[in-house]
Structure 1
Amino acid sequence: MKITERQQKLSDLIDEKLAELNLPDEPSLLYDPVRYTLGLAGKRVRPYLTLIGCGICNRKVEEALPAALSIELLHNFTLLHDDIMDRADTRRGAPSVFKKWNSNTAILSGDAMYAKAFKQLQYYGHSDFYGKNEYRTILDIFLNSAERVCEGQAYDLMFESQSDVRIEEYIQMIEGKTAALISGALAIGGAVAGAEEATLDELRFVGKKAGIAFQIQDDLLDAIADPEKFGKKRGGDIIEGKKTYLTLLALERCNIQQQKQLQKILADDKSNASDVDTVIGMYQDLNIIEDTKNAVQYHYQEAMDHLERFDDSEYKKEIINFFNHLISREY
């Protein structure tokens, strides 16, 4: 699905404001990795949803730009730290900050992004148009989102040494690690617009369901996407031994022999492309690929159904179009 004119306009606006961030030349060790990270070709899903969350609640989206930038900075902060924990060499098809510099630099630059995120939110604290309660709601959404992301990451780390992870536990983990920030992005946009708590809850639900779908889809694309488009090598999750929606579903369905083979490949730190082919072949035999696609569709549809509770508007059309685009993405 083609990008809409409004989506292009909002994406350009986000990139323009990110480029205007106050990032001094010195100390270069701190700010060069920040500039590098923000310059990589990201989807800008979260700041875009912040603007849409504001627009769907009948406020000018430009008012939500500081909140949108804070969410994007928070997101990139988590990515820098994720790459250290995962020892990931690439991010968005380019060397990660961890690889290009080192882990200490990635930690420090990530922390700088977190501080910059808070500085963006100061706009609402200093503005005469926002009262104490409104500012508190905006901060609460931001901080709750950050906290939930950390909790999700903690569960993800725990799952690495846990042999009996269930699908339900995995969903709980990605509700924090991935969905919390997408949920928070929509809700903080609504908070900027002064929406009632019930409306914010609807935005949180829509974002949560879209976030769950987004992560399961990422798991799926790791196995079936074109590596050049996806920006990661095919089957990277399998080689790294990660527990994903696909591996957990396969472990639930496979026979004893397949289970032993799959667990051996996931546990082996020398797994290779041949092992990836073996696991993906297992996915196909067990109908994992198709059922994972259905799971993605189910969670996106739940998000769509809750959007119907909002009044018709250009922004409602925009987010529906955007979700339809995400459903069909190939990377």
Structure 2
Amino acid sequence: MNITERQQKLSDLIDKKLAELNLPQEPSLLYDPVRYTLELAGKRIRPYLTLVGCGICNGDVEEALPAALSIELLHNFTLLHDDIMDRADTRRGEPSVFKKWDSNTAILSGDAMYAKAFKQLQYYGQSDFYSKKQYKTILDIFLKSAETVCEGQAYDLMFEDQSDVSIQQYLQMIEGKTAALISGALAIGGAVAGEDDSILEELRFVGKKAGIAFQIQDDLLDAIADPEKFGKKKGGDIIEGKKTYLTLLALERCNNQQQKQLKKTLVDQKSSPEDVDNVIGIYRELDIIRDTKNAVQYHYQEAMEHLERFDDSEYKKEIINFFNHLISREY
């Protein structure tokens, strides 16, 4: 994805601040996995949106850096714990902390990142520039984001053993698991800028819709993207039997024969590339690919429409450009 000069500047600011985090050498079992995780090549979408959320509200972007780091640390904390629950061997193309060390280490290092996230937010409580009310708003957004992510993950775990998950239930799950931190990132940036509740709600909505679109698009790319660009095996979600937007939509539309084939492949832990191609073939027969693309566009468009409430600015252009790139991404 091509990035703008401003996005590069903001990304450099984020990386610089992450590198300055106080991570002691000892105990190495605690902090080495934290360093390892933060050095993996992530997109840094959430901290970037925190800074843009502050900028679009005419705030001082550099003042939002502690909030941006807190959101990024919270995000990585959830990933360490998610990898344990999913038994995921890799993360961003490298061994996960769970795989490289063990479950106990991943849990402990994730907890350390959660504590470090809170320490970043202390800046706003200790600065005379921020009122107690503003500090409370910042903390409330952070805590609500963390709580909603956990709820989304709980639904995801419940859905593994639930055979009749609906599209609406799935959207509720990703609204928590994926969209909550994107929504919280924009809102916490606005809170640092001192915006009122109505504007923060607009930012939350924009982030929620963009987050839902992002996850549905991830589901889509798992089936149709070039594996070398996407960084994952083609049809990985199908092989793992995951309930995605595509599989749930297909199960709503398919005939008995297609349903048998879909369910057999999703349950079978040894699905072949041919099985995956057959499922993707069913997706195409039922117009699942087309309609999933339309769903992505719909949620992104809703996010764009709510950006109209904000005055024109370089940061508004920045977020619109960013969303346009996300819509057209191939990985």
TM-score band by shorter chain is over 0.9
Deviation at 1:229, TM superposition (A): 2.1
Deviations 1:104-161 (A, max 9, x none): 1111111111010000000001111011100000000000000000000000011111
Q: Distance in 1 between matches of 2:161 and 2:18?
A: 38
Contact 1:90 1:232 in 2 (8 A): no
Q: Distance in 2 between matches of 1:170 and 1:229?
A: 26
Deviation at 1:272, TM superposition (A): 2.8
Q: Distance in 1 between matches of 2:101 and 2:171?
A: 33
Equivalent residue number for residue 278 of structure 1: 278
- Deviating more after overlay: 147-156 vs 91-100: 91-100
SS in 2 for 1:35: helix
SS in 2 for 1:129: coil
Counterpart code for 2:286:
L
Q: Distance in 2 between matches of 1:194 and 1:271?
A: 52
Q: How does 1:152-167 map to 2 (within 5 A)?
A: 152-167=152-167
Q: How does 1:207-218 map to 2 (within 5 A)?
A: 207-218=207-218
- How many aligned residue pairs are there? 331
Q: Distance in 2 between matches of 1:94 and 1:329?
A: 22
Deviation at 1:5, TM superposition (A): 0.4
Deviations 1:185-215 (A, max 9, x none): 0000000000010000000000000000000
Q: Distance in 2 between matches of 1:102 and 1:287?
A: 42
Deviation at 1:289, TM superposition (A): 1.0
Pair 1:319-2:289 in alignment: no
Equivalent residue number for residue 92 of structure 1: 92
Equivalent residue number for residue 265 of structure 1: 265
Q: How does 1:68-79 map to 2 (within 5 A)?
A: 68-79=68-79
Q: Distance in 1 between matches of 2:221 and 2:193?
A: 35
Q: Distance in 2 between matches of 1:61 and 1:139?
A: 18
Pair 1:197-2:192 in alignment: no
SS in 1 for 2:80: helix
Counterpart code for 1:223:
A
Q: Distance in 1 between matches of 2:274 and 2:93?
A: 23
Q: Distance in 1 between matches of 2:77 and 2:109?
A: 8
Deviations 1:40-65 (A, max 9, x none): 11110000000000001111100000
Pair 1:224-2:233 in alignment: no
Q: Distance in 2 between matches of 1:98 and 1:317?
A: 39
The runs of 5 or more residues in structure 1 that have no matched partner are: none
Equivalent residue number for residue 145 of structure 1: 145
Q: Distance in 1 between matches of 2:273 and 2:80?
A: 27
Contact 1:265 1:271 in 2 (8 A): yes
Deviations 1:276-319 (A, max 9, x none): 11111111111111111111011000000000110001000000
Pair 1:46-2:46 in alignment: yes
Deviation at 1:11, TM superposition (A): 0.6
Q: Distance in 2 between matches of 1:273 and 1:34?
A: 36
SS in 1 for 2:248: helix
Counterpart code for 2:131:
G
Counterpart code for 2:103:
S
Counterpart code for 1:24:
P
Counterpart code for 1:45:
I
Q: TM-score, normalised by structure 1?
A: 0.99
Counterpart code for 1:178:
T
Q: TM-score, normalised by structure 2?
A: 0.99
SS in 2 for 1:308: helix
Deviation at 1:274, TM superposition (A): 2.2
SS in 1 for 2:309: coil
Equivalent residue number for residue 170 of structure 2: 170
Counterpart code for 1:57:
C
Contact 1:213 1:299 in 2 (8 A): yes
Contact 1:175 1:212 in 2 (8 A): yes
Equivalent residue number for residue 57 of structure 1: 57
Q: Distance in 2 between matches of 1:15 and 1:231?
A: 22
Equivalent residue number for residue 7 of structure 2: 7
Q: Distance in 2 between matches of 1:34 and 1:276?
A: 36
Q: Distance in 1 between matches of 2:317 and 2:210?
A: 16
Counterpart code for 1:209:
K
- Deviating more after overlay: 227-236 vs 137-146: 227-236
Q: How does 1:249-260 map to 2 (within 5 A)?
A: 249-260=249-260
Deviation at 1:271, TM superposition (A): 2.0
Deviations 1:220-263 (A, max 9, x none): 11111222222221111111110000000110111011111111
Runs of 4+ in 1 over 4 A off after TM superposition: none
Deviations 1:87-106 (A, max 9, x none): 11111111111111111111
Pair 1:180-2:202 in alignment: no
Equivalent residue number for residue 310 of structure 1: 310
